[in-house]
Structure 1
Amino acid sequence: MRRPAPWIVVVRRRAGADDGSAVVEFVALAVLLLVPLIYLVMMLARLQAGSFAVTQAAREAGRAYVTAQQAGEAPGRARAAADIAFEDQGFGGQGELSISCSATPCFTPEASISSTATVTVPLPLVPAFARDVIPLEVPVSATQVSTVPRYEVRS
């Protein structure tokens, strides 16, 4: 019987010494793949929260504006409704609201009131020094058009 070549003997010895390395490789690969995946899920969840915040803020601000009994109290009601919606999703004090009217005065029957809510969503777990160099925020906005009721009497 022939003896195997010396390099085959070395390869067989090293191949036999692989006991337990599959677990180490699996853990290393799992960490390498799961960390970016978890970050992606966190980022998408935060963007979705921003989307919910601006949609709800624009909608509620428009409703609050057109249901005000006096024209002077309408902007304050709209801002308060938008602030509640922003706070509900964790964006308290960060959201912006703008309201425009299609007619003058704004409470003309069947006039359109357009309310636009905007928030800037910072990406999670990014240090402040990196934010100064690279823009790591995503602006999210939503617009709602509400109509002033035709037959409602206002003072």
Structure 2
Amino acid sequence: MTLRTRLVLHRLRAGTTARLRAGGERGSALVEFVFLAVLMMVPLIYRVMVLARLQAGSYAASAAVREAGRAYVTAQRQEDAGPRADAAARIAFEDQGFRGDGLLTMSCDGDPCLRPDGRITMQATVTVPLPLVPAFARDVLPLEVPVTASHVAVVDRFRGTP
């Protein structure tokens, strides 16, 4: 073997080794990107889930007080007004997925409540649990957010006295 042949073979081996070293790194950027993307996306997705659940709670509370007030002031008799308001609030709570988690309180500014220009104050509270939290953690830490809404419904001025 001549010196020139040895030199050519040495260069070929050196180039092949360098290519093999570079080829061994091929695809690792993709793995790193996927790992970092998952690491960054999981908290982001969880935050979006929490915000969506809180928004549903605020929709439930605001719809419950508005519809309960409307149902209360449109009742024909005082005895029917309370159950009508409770039913309307329950439907609003269940519509947003809060079955049994909502609380509605009512108060009047005078007696009877259904007198012309009477004001009925409705207040709804929904307890929104944080998603994907196990039950044993809920017993240790308060992992629920209370959402409250209030509304004042006015009885029609030209309504006849019941």
Mark the structure with the bigger radius of gyration.
2
Ranges in structure 1 where 5+ consecutive residues have no aligned partner: 1-11
Report the 3-state secondary structure (helix = DSSP H, G, I; strand = E; otherwise coil) of the residue aligned with 1:73.
Answer: helix
1:7 counterpart residue number: none
Pair 1:121-2:124 in alignment: no
Pair 1:136-2:143 in alignment: yes
Deviation at 1:108, TM superposition (A): 2.2
Q: 1:54 aligns with which of 58, 61, 66?
A: 61
Q: 2:25 aligns with which of 13, 18, 22?
A: 18
Question: How many residue pairs align between the two structures?
Answer: 144
Ranges in structure 2 where 5+ consecutive residues have no aligned partner: 1-17
| Runs of 4+ in structure 1 over 4 Å off | none
Q: Is the 8 A contact 1:68 1:77 kept in 2?
A: yes
Q: 2:78 aligns with which of 36, 51, 71?
A: 71
Provide the C-alpha distance between the structure 1 equivalents of 2:99 and 2:138, rounded to a whole number of angstroms: 20
Report the 3-state secondary structure (helix = DSSP H, G, I; strand = E; otherwise coil) of the residue aligned with 1:77.
Answer: helix
2:9 counterpart residue number: none
Please, which moves more after superposition, 105-114 or 67-76? 105-114
Report the 3-state secondary structure (helix = DSSP H, G, I; strand = E; otherwise coil) of the residue aligned with 1:98.
Answer: strand
Deviation at 1:18, TM superposition (A): 2.2
Provide the C-alpha distance between the structure 1 equivalents of 2:105 and 2:31, rounded to a whole number of angstroms: 55
Q: Is the 8 A contact 2:116 2:161 kept in 1?
A: no
Identity %: 63
TM-score, normalised to structure 2's length?
0.84
Q: Is the 8 A contact 1:62 1:113 kept in 2?
A: yes
Amino acid at match of 2:39: L
Please, which moves more after superposition, 99-108 or 49-58? 99-108
Provide the C-alpha distance between the structure 2 equivalents of 1:115 and 1:28, rounded to a whole number of angstroms: 50
Report the 3-state secondary structure (helix = DSSP H, G, I; strand = E; otherwise coil) of the residue aligned with 2:75.
Answer: coil
Amino acid at match of 1:113: I
